[in-house]
Structure 1
Amino acid sequence: MSMRSWIATALFALAAWPVCAHDFWLQPSPYWLAPQSAVQLTLQVGHGPYRQRSPIPVRRIARFEDLAPDGAIGDLRPRLHLGAAEADADAPLAVPGTHLLVLETDNGAMTSLPAIRFNDYLRAEGLTPALVERERTHRTDRDGAERYRRHAKALVQVGAPGAGGSDAVTRPLGLALEIVPERNPYALPHHDELPVKVLYLGHPLPGALVKLTRLEHDESPVETHRTDAAGRAVFTVPAHGSWLLNVIWTRPLPASDDADFETSFSSLAFGFP
């Protein structure tokens, strides 16, 4: 049996696992803290009854950094302790302002699903170009395999809003797939609009399905939008609760590759006291 067939067989048993289990994010506890404090973080995957701590191995984490309000960049990989009882990592955050925490994995993971499940997943996540590609190549009735990577950002406010800087929040970081807020969520008036831009390989991404989920009631998103021609979408965010924005995009791989697509998952987590 080939490796690809073995993966497909093994994952067929997990067919009941919902497509929302692809969602992955950095979960700070709490999102707001006093200066000279440390925040604990867990790596979360899935939603509703399927939500759990991510079992990702540390070897797959390629980047884990704190972009501080004063422009300093701190490498947080030494602060990882995946699977520990309390948290998967901790980050000392001294400088007042909004800290941007970012975690990236490599693209070494691969999954395969039976044709119906794979097509349903592509539809649910708004990956229309992948559906079109499968139709063009007459593969809609074949199992689908993808190699994937994850990009997770989280915003942590140290001190009161307005204290310190927040420039890093609205700047792209050069991730393969990235949600960039055009305003700092922590500087928004109550129940105001939050415009975001989605970038793929450094360029605005039109037609991507962006979901906003309240993490206290995370069975399904509360708001979804497709990005416009400039890669933008606008959400209404109440100034309470914990929130997750996430988006997925994919591209076809050459026929010689073990997988059909290379997929990127991107998230942005933030919350209010």
Structure 2
Amino acid sequence: MMKKLLLTAILCATAFSAHSHRVWVSTDHTHGGEILKAELGYGEFPEFEPIAKERLDIFKPLQLITEKGKQNLIRKGMYNYQYQSAKPVADGSYLVVAEYQPTFWSKNAAGWKRENMTQMTDATYCEQTRMYGKNIVNVGHDSADTAIITRPVGHMLEIVPLDNPANIHVGDRFKVKVLLNGEPLPNVTLTATFDGFDTSDRSRTHKVEAQAFSDTTADDGTVSIIPLRQGFWKANVEHKMDFPDQKVCQKIANYSTLTFQIGHSHH
């Protein structure tokens, strides 16, 4: 097990990408009757950083998913990654989701640009990037419902929890299912880590943080995350496939995260 963890950490340390930034979502500990506050992560987990103005248009507003459907959160706060619900929320278990809309990124000798291969004719690589973030929020101390959070939201690539993490203790198995276009995705690697696992300074390297857990999905798309510590966790899965028109771009690249709290919240 230790070898596996070490190997994962080494692999993650050497994996460089233009898109080492991942989209993820965090919500403040919230009581029923309070405004829900959420933050859009697009940087070095678990740190938040302002989103570059020229990239703001890529992101859809954060959405709160309740039994009444989806509602956009309002961008509000000191920084452009901070959001709030329009109205106070009741006790219950909900999802807050983020979406980075399909965006072409191409690379040539000069670096990365937001273009496809018809625009950057000397590109050596192109991908249409899509990113998704999903956060499980339990409003009120006794909320551990599963109805909303175990229902797929329809992202092209998504991690669907099969239980509420409020019911999971340290060392328990937290089962999730990975879907691609709504279908189970077998044999894909899911990694997970928690706030405080990787304490190295990644601000200069922009590498993906070291992971505390790694496993592969079964034929039915399921995998059980084993959270060995209390705290704020982020699970991550990635998938690439050929872009339909190879003259325009090479790959469709999907990146999806699920964030959740194990044990008591310390916000």
2:211 aligned to which of 218, 221, 241: 221
Question: Which deviates more, 214-223 or 37-46?
Answer: 37-46
Q: Distance in 2 between matches of 1:58 and 1:48?
A: 19
Over the matched positions of the two proteins, sequence identity in percent amounts to 22
Matched, 1:99 2:94: yes
Runs of 4+ residues over 4 Å off in structure 1: 48-51
Matched, 1:23 2:22: yes
Q: Is the 8 A contact 1:191 1:238 kept in 2?
A: yes
SS of equivalent residue, structure 2 residue 196:
helix
2:142 alignment counterpart: 161
Q: How many Å apart are 1:185 and its aligned residue?
A: 0.6
Relative distance call for 1:190 and 1:253 in structure 2 (3 A) is closer
How many residue pairs get matched? Answer: 226
Structure 1 residue identity aligned to 2:68? A
Structure 2 residue identity aligned to 1:26? V
Q: Distance in 1 between matches of 2:40 and 2:247?
A: 29
Structure 2 residue identity aligned to 1:101? V
Q: Distance in 2 between matches of 1:97 and 1:167?
A: 10
Q: Distance in 1 between matches of 2:49 and 2:156?
A: 25
SS of equivalent residue, structure 2 residue 148:
helix
- Alpha-carbon deviations, 1:152-172, whole Å to 9, x = none? 101111112346x43111111
Q: Is the 8 A contact 1:170 1:181 kept in 2?
A: yes
Q: How many Å apart are 1:251 and its aligned residue?
A: 1.2
Matched, 1:89 2:83: yes
Q: Distance in 2 between matches of 1:168 and 1:221?
A: 28
Q: CA RMSD of the aligned region, Å? A: 3.0
Q: Distance in 2 between matches of 1:146 and 1:191?
A: 37
| Structure holding more helix per residue | 1
Relative distance call for 1:93 and 1:171 in structure 2 (3 A) is farther
Q: Is the 8 A contact 2:65 2:71 kept in 1?
A: no
1:33 aligned to which of 30, 37, 41: 30
1:76 alignment counterpart: 72
1:144 aligned to which of 119, 125, 134: 125
Relative distance call for 1:257 and 1:63 in structure 2 (3 A) is farther
1:267 alignment counterpart: 257
Q: How many Å apart are 1:239 and its aligned residue?
A: 6.4
Aligned runs of 1:1-273 on 2, under 5 Å?
18-19=16-17, 21-28=20-27, 30=28, 32-47=29-44, 52-55=49-52, 57-62=55-60, 64-68=62-66, 71-77=67-73, 79-81=74-76, 84-85=78-79, 87-91=81-85, 92-112=87-107, 143-162=124-143, 165-218=145-198, 219-238=209-228, 240-271=230-261, 272-273=264-265
Q: Distance in 1 between matches of 2:80 and 2:184?
A: 38
Q: Distance in 2 between matches of 1:93 and 1:147?
A: 37
- Alpha-carbon deviations, 1:109-147, whole Å to 9, x = none? 424377xx9xxxxxxxxxxxxxxxxxxxxxxxx822101
Q: Is the 8 A contact 2:97 2:132 kept in 1?
A: yes
SS of equivalent residue, structure 2 residue 32:
coil
Q: Distance in 2 between matches of 1:98 and 1:49?
A: 23
- Alpha-carbon deviations, 1:9-62, whole Å to 9, x = none? xxxxxxx9943723221122x2x3211112332222343699744437443234
Runs of 5+ consecutive residues of structure 1 not aligned to the other structure:
1-15, 118-141
Q: Distance in 2 between matches of 1:238 and 1:59?
A: 37
Give me the TM-score of the superposition, normalised by structure 2: 0.73
- Alpha-carbon deviations, 1:86-129, whole Å to 9, x = none? 85212255121111111223202424377xx9xxxxxxxxxxxx
SS of equivalent residue, structure 2 residue 90:
coil
Runs of 5+ consecutive residues of structure 2 not aligned to the other structure:
1-13, 112-122, 199-208
SS of equivalent residue, structure 2 residue 239:
strand
